[in-house]
Amino acid sequence: MTIDVDPDWWKTMFDEVYLVTDARSVADDDITKQEIDIFTSLVPMQPHDRILDLCGGHGRHALELCQRGFRECTVLDYSQPLLDIGARGAAGKRYPVQFLQGDARHTTLTSEAFDHVLILGNSLGYIPEPDADLRILQEGRRLLKSRGWLLLDVTDGKAVHAKIAPQAWHEIGDDVVVCRQREVKDGLVCAREMVLSKGQGIIRDRTYCIRLYGADDLAALVARAGFGGVQVHTDMSALNRTEDVGCMNHRLVVVARKP
């Protein structure tokens, strides 16, 4: 790899600028609605169920669930800026969503407190330690009640290997241009992202690296974390496949249950 990455990049990258650079996938209400249509078709959710959106960012999925009558949603994320944005959005709509800061590998939440744990929008693969994703899944299992459901939505590593362009750029509104240089190697996609504002100049020049999973590796990891009935659904992305939205075009959606 020629792209050098700070191993702690994920602790500071998810902020207001990320909501601009990734607006096409994470700040589009129609996409979020379609994703919730997909997820609720795969897992039986009842309005009174307790739902944890683990690594839930600014809570877009929890807010949409609330809109549909699910009143027991909790969002946990590492990024305080995203949580603050989510909490303001929830307060504006009077949705009773709880926003909590924490590390998904070891939260302070009570065991067996949730009927569903959702890990959505490609939130695995950021931490370089080899067992980090396993620890997040094991924590999800701890937090679920017996027979509770895990729903996991991550990028399809095989598709990224086959299709991602080494260089890409796109415009957001009239002001911002996002340029990405990418390398895919040894099960990782690494990128340099430069964000230019026509008004302010360079507003971001950073690198990041994400571990990629194929369907079989991901199913094996979920089973290793202690889940049963693991099913992997491919090609369930709500996104338009013809536009390059980085790693987000092709997704694996996993459904599994705590025994």
Ligand X SMILES: C[S@@+](CC[C@H](N)C(=O)[O-])C[C@H]1O[C@@H](n2cnc3c(N)ncnc32)[C@H](O)[C@@H]1O
Minimum distance from CB of 199 to ligand X (Å)? 26
21 binding ligand X? (CB under 6 A): no
Tell me which residue of 19, 36, 18 sits closest to 253, measured CA to CA: 36
Minimum distance from CB of 9 to ligand X (Å)? 10
Tell me which residue of 171, 214, 250, 182 sits closest to 1, measured CA to CA: 182
Report the residue from 26, 117, 159, 195 that binds ligand X according to the rule CB under 6 A.
26
- CB-based contacts of 186: which residues, under 8 Å, 6+ apart? 1
Q: What one-character-per-residue DSSP string does 72-96 give?
A: EEEEEES-HHHHHHHHHHHHHHT--
Q: How far apart are CA 60 and CA 226, in angstroms?
A: 28
126 binding ligand X? (CB under 6 A): yes
190 binding ligand X? (CB under 6 A): no
103 binding ligand X? (CB under 6 A): yes
105 binding ligand X? (CB under 6 A): yes
Minimum distance from CB of 19 to ligand X (Å)? 9
Report the residue from 62, 120, 151, 154 that binds ligand X according to the rule CB under 6 A.
120
33 binding ligand X? (CB under 6 A): no
Q: What one-character-per-residue DSSP string does 94-134 give?
A: T---EEEE--TTS--PPTT-EEEEEE-SS-SS-S-STTHHH
Using CB under 6 A, which residues numbered 150 to 189 contact ligand X? none
Tell me which residue of 206, 196, 157 sits closest to 3, measured CA to CA: 206
Using CB under 6 A, which residues numbered 1 to 20 contact ligand X? 10, 14
Closer to ligand X by Cβ: residue 60 or 211: 60
Using CB under 6 A, which residues numbered 68 to 97 contact ligand X? 77-79, 82
Tell me if 102 sits within 8 A of 76, measured CB to CB. Answer: yes
Query: Which residue's structure tokens are 């996002």?
Result: 178
- The piece of 51-59, 169-177, 180-188, 228-236 that touches ligand X (CB under 6 A) is 51-59
Number of shown-chain residues binding ligand X (CB under 6 A): 19
Minimum distance from CB of 16 to ligand X (Å)? 12
Report the residue from 24, 60, 182, 258 that binds ligand X according to the rule CB under 6 A.
60
Tell me which residue of 121, 125, 120 sits closest to 189, measured CA to CA: 125
Minimum distance from CB of 187 to ligand X (Å)? 18
Could you give the dihedral angle defined by the CA atoms of residues 33, 38, 39 and 44, in that order, rounded to the nearest 10 degrees? 110
55 binding ligand X? (CB under 6 A): yes
| Chain positions contacting ligand X, by CB under 6 A | 10, 14, 26, 55-57, 60, 77-79, 82, 103-105, 120-123, 126
